[in-house]
Amino acid sequence: MFRSLLSLTIAWTAGVSVAAPPLVSDATFEEIASGCLTTGWHLPSAHYSAAKGEGQNGSGGLVWENDDPEFYQWPFQSVRLEAGKVYRIGARIKIDELKGDRKGVFVLLEWYDKTGKWMGGRYTPHLKAERTDDWLTHETVTQPIPEGVAEFRFGVAVAKSSTGRVRFDNAYVLPYERPIVSGVYSSVYRNAAVEGKVHFYAALNEPAEGWPSGIVASFSYRASDGTVRSVPALKLKTDAASVVLDVTDMRAGTNSVVCRVLAGTGKELGRAEMAFVRLSSRPVRAVEVDALGRTLVGGKPFFPLGMYFDKVTASELDIYTNGPFNCVMPYSPPRNRELDMCQARGLMCCYSIKGALPGTVWAHNRKLVTQADVNEHVRKLMKPVQGHSALLAWYVNDEAPLTQLGGLTELYRTISLQDPGHPAFAVMDRYYDLRDFLPSFDIIGFDPYPVPTHPISQVSEFASGFRKATFARPMWAVPQAFDWSWFRPQYKGKGRMPTADELKSMTFQAIAGGANGIIYYGYYVYRKPTCSMPFDECFGRVVSAAREVKRHERVFLSAVAGPRVRSETAAVQVRSWGDEDGSAWVLVVNTMREPVTARIDIAGMWQGASGGVLEKCLGPIGYEIVNLRRSDHE
């Protein structure tokens, strides 16, 4: 039964990574003369050199050796890429020694216009180990390459403020392609239900040559009478197919739900399947998510409202609980003692197990080589705490690259088997490849950090993009509550802490976009030496925003469906809830920094909504939560 609760997806097409002629010249750093690379590469004048014997297995390699923390340049070469395509970039890396407050080693691809202006880029997460005993593969996958790029620069780099010695070998840029049907997913928690109608979705990826004419999609399953039922897709778009099935018709136990996509000629273009469980009774879980996307703790609705911590301590929790928070998200995994501290103060707590993947620094430091090694270690970490009543969720992913998907899916599988009673929570900073991650989490968090370099409406953009990419899977939001310059020196003089009004705007944009939990990033930041504002001022701004959420918590947790609402005003986001007394609540959020008169179409007859239109004047980045009573004329 436990196996059947997993979100297993199998695709019957070629693997996602496609071999191709090398796009990188001298990717193995073998063509060397006087310490310089002679083919393709542009090396800085200092601190980088190439030599035989410095690469993996004694081959040629590129060496960074630096004692100047102010030095930051990186070797690169120009590569030719196609607009609209996706690429995998990476290299083998060996850290001999690495020091510095903001140390890090990474691989990057940047693109520039014809004037040499930076247009964008993709970067692997920073490797921050002080040293590695062996070579590690470090890679990521790009977003679709944009139009209008004049030059692409691929390279390897060590962050500014770093000193030490690092070696590179086997650098690569390779095309990355997805199968035609990359997965099948359901609308219910853990893909298991006793009865009722369930939405099933198939993720589709248009082939390079485009879709042939007349394509059709169908979903099939084995019915309770043993026959195979095939149902045409109810909706078919370029990126997804969907159907609604009454799972009461399925046989009890694990069922395979298969989606097939055919060309008009009848040729099969691709297929994928998932395991769906028809349960005989509803399982009892400590924490889960219901059909409305609400978190349930002990069966009761719970709106997570918290902040990121470095680690849990009694002294910090005593300060923290002066705010309206009900949970905490520490990076340092809490032991039972820390969970007891949380419970005594009325707080739930997430447990971070992110990075528990083969080939990562996390695994390397623990001398875990194989997937089986990692799985066993994860189970040992989970077992002492998984029964604690203060445990809220397992934190499994913090902006991981797509190249870690296999390990993340296995981590989710291990967690689900070990502890069916708590969800897996992932956070991502992008949504262009988010759909690929669907087999690896239960709840998705989104963390746009727009202040001050992007429009604050980026929060609404993320909420919409995440809902679409995940087929409306349960969402929590991670609003920005920090100054970028506290992390990145290049933002000094440019970054700033969001104002109280900006924090409220980002919070209510997220909720209007479908978020059913808010965890601000982050409390621990205000204790960093680089934080340039008083702790009380930073924390006070977050508390002010969080209290507004708490004030309306009953509305956000309502199980009564609200009326259908739609904003006629492009910059305005809207969401509704029903109330047990028959009234409705409508959240209206202005995402612009100018005043706006919002026009909201609302189904039904409501006092204050003339002709089915609600009008509200909102100030810059303002919001309002409106309670509407039914009209006597309905």
Cα separation, 31 vs 298, whole angstroms: 63
Q: What would you measure as the largest C-alpha separation in the chain, in angstroms?
A: 88
Cα separation, 332 vs 414, whole angstroms: 20
Residue 502 backbone phi and psi in degrees, to 5:
-65, -40
**If you average pLDDT over residues 173-196, what whole number do you get?**
96
Per-residue pLDDT reduced to its tens digit, 201-247? 999 999 988 899 999 999 999 999 999 999 999 999 999 999 999 99
CA atoms within 13 A of residue 385's CA, in its CB half-sphere: 27
Task: Give the lowest-confidence range in 383-387, 515-519, 610-614.
Answer: 610-614
Q: With 50 as the cut, is the pLDDT of residue 478 above it?
A: yes
Per-residue pLDDT reduced to its tens digit, 247-270? 999 999 999 999 999 999 999 999
Q: Please state the pTM of the whole predicted model.
A: 0.90
Cα separation, 520 vs 307, whole angstroms: 4
Q: With 60 as the cut, is the pLDDT of residue 549 above it?
A: yes
**If you average pLDDT over residues 327-341, what whole number do you get?**
98
Q: With 60 as the cut, is the pLDDT of residue 4 above it?
A: no
Task: Please report, for residues 35, 325, 588, 589, 607, the alpha-carbon distance to residue 600 in angstroms, rounded to integers and kept in the order given.
Answer: 66, 32, 9, 11, 14
3-state SS, 532-583, equals CCCHHHHHHHHHHHHHHHHHCHHHHCCCCCCCCEEECCCCEEEEEEECCCCC
Q: What is the pLDDT of residue 22?
A: 64
Q: With 70 as the cut, is the pLDDT of residue 450 above it?
A: yes
Share of residues in the chain with pLDDT > 90 (%): 87
Q: What is the pLDDT of residue 14?
A: 32
Cα separation, 389 vs 318, whole angstroms: 20
Per-residue pLDDT reduced to its tens digit, 398-431? 999 999 999 999 999 999 999 999 999 999 999 9
Task: Give the lowest-confidence range in 165-179, 488-502, 519-533, 541-555.
Answer: 488-502
Rounded to the nearest integer, the mean pLDDT of the chain is 93
**If you average pLDDT over residues 168-177, what whole number do you get?**
95
Task: Please report, for residues 19, 117, 350, the alpha-carbon distance to residue 160 in angstroms, rounded to integers and kept in the order given.
Answer: 34, 21, 32
Q: With 90 as the cut, is the pLDDT of residue 1 above it?
A: no
Per-residue pLDDT reduced to its tens digit, 574-619? 999 999 999 999 999 999 999 999 999 999 999 989 889 999 999 9
Q: What angle do CA 140, 144, 145 make, to 5 degrees?
A: 100
